[in-house]
Amino acid sequence: MSDNPRLKQIVEAALLAVGGSMTLDLLQELFLEEERPDKNTLREIIDSLKEDYRGRGVELVDVGGGYRVNVRAELAPWISRLWEERPVRYSRAMLETLALIAYRQPITRGEIEDVRGVSVSTHIIKTMMEREWIRVVGHRDVPGRPALYATTRDFLTYFGLNSLNDLPPLQEIRDLDSINRELELDEPSISAGDSGAFGNILGLSGQMEAGIADTPADSHLPDDRSAAAPVSPEGSGISKASFVDGLEPPVDQSKDREDG
């Protein structure tokens, strides 16, 4: 690694100041061309900082193709007291919809409704698009050409995922109702630093693993009774996972929004 201590200080200061994740490209832009470190040097500095933070109150994690400094999840009960507001809760309807998009992408609204057995609230889709967790990536080549939804890089960053391969496998996702009972909550919630934010709160039905049900297009579907709630602060990392056989291949998000 570079023996220039100032270089390490600059990288650390940038990661702390940005309040989010930074890619190697963004870190390189901090320097003039003649003094710009190469990416291997930056990776070595990142690894060194990770080691420095071992056993500390913060950690340096890989998220969304970049790097971010997080408060350790186990400290969340104390750190969360810095904010007066209660952790914001998500509706079950929103969590199930987001889970289906994450695992089955690209997917149409009608296919989501087929699995859930109820119609998807327009407010839920709108909220997730406003948060830039999902986006339209195309249209299904069927009558009406319904929009195909997929997750975004912001989704990965928010839930502490480096790529879609980090999503927990379906068989490891715990039942949503049992989680609610354990936490004594009416609805699932996530707050800043919660461990396993995505995997620990998503309850998926057996239909999701079995495949999208062949529900007739003209069948009546009741509306969701609860709309999506506002968003809480960012969650943290998820265990290594693989996709269920038979699912459509995920959209490559490694370059999502890079040019934006």
Residue spans of the domains in the chain: they are 5-73, 85-260
Predicted local distance difference test score (pLDDT) of residue 42: 95
pLDDT under 50: residue ranges of the chain = 1, 172-197, 199-260
Contacts of 106 (CB under 8 A, 6+ apart): 137, 138, 148, 149, 150, 248, 251
Q: How many CB atoms lie within 10 A of CB 77?
A: 10
Residue 187: HSE in the Cβ half-sphere, 13 Å Cα cutoff: 17
Contact present, 15 and 42 (Cβ < 8 Å): no
Among residues 145, 97, 146, 117, the alpha carbon closest in space to that of 213 is found at 117
Predicted local distance difference test score (pLDDT) of residue 116: 83
CATH class belonging to 85-260:
mainly alpha
**Do the domains spanning 5-73 and 85-260 agree at the CATH topology level?**
yes
Cis (ω within 30 of 0) for the bond into 230?
no
Predicted local distance difference test score (pLDDT) of residue 162: 83
Among residues 230, 229, 232, 200, the alpha carbon closest in space to that of 91 is found at 229
Predicted local distance difference test score (pLDDT) of residue 40: 94
Predicted local distance difference test score (pLDDT) of residue 88: 62
pTM comes to: 0.50
Q: How many CB atoms lie within 10 A of CB 190?
A: 24
Helix H segments across 105-152?
109-116, 122-130
Instruction: Domain 5-73: give its CATH code.
Output: 1.10.10.10
Predicted local distance difference test score (pLDDT) of residue 54: 93
Among residues 101, 76, 73, the alpha carbon closest in space to that of 238 is found at 73
Among residues 104, 113, 100, the alpha carbon closest in space to that of 215 is found at 113
Predicted local distance difference test score (pLDDT) of residue 165: 86
What average pLDDT is seen over the chain?
71
Predicted local distance difference test score (pLDDT) of residue 80: 81
Contacts of 93 (CB under 8 A, 6+ apart): 116, 118, 120, 121, 124, 224, 225, 226, 227, 228
Predicted local distance difference test score (pLDDT) of residue 170: 64
Predicted local distance difference test score (pLDDT) of residue 260: 44
Among residues 131, 126, 77, 135, the alpha carbon closest in space to that of 101 is found at 135
